[in-house]
Amino acid sequence: MKTALIIIGIIAVLWLLDRGALAMERRGWIYWRKRKASPGTRAAAFLEMQSLLEPGRNHVIEAQSEHEEKKSDAAGPPSSEQQAASDEQSTTSGAAGGGLG
Mean pLDDT, the chain, integer: 75
pLDDT above 70 coverage of the chain, percent: 64
pLDDT in tens, 44-74: 777 778 778 877 766 677 777 787 777 777 7
Contact 86, 78 (CB under 8 A): yes
CA distance 95 to 100: 9
**H-state helical runs in the chain:** 2-26, 39-53, 58-75, 80-100
Length of the chain measured in residues: 101
CA distances from residue 6 to 1, 10, 14, 19, 57 in whole angstroms, order as listed: 9, 6, 12, 20, 48
Sorted by where each begins, the domain ranges of the chain are: 1-34, 37-71
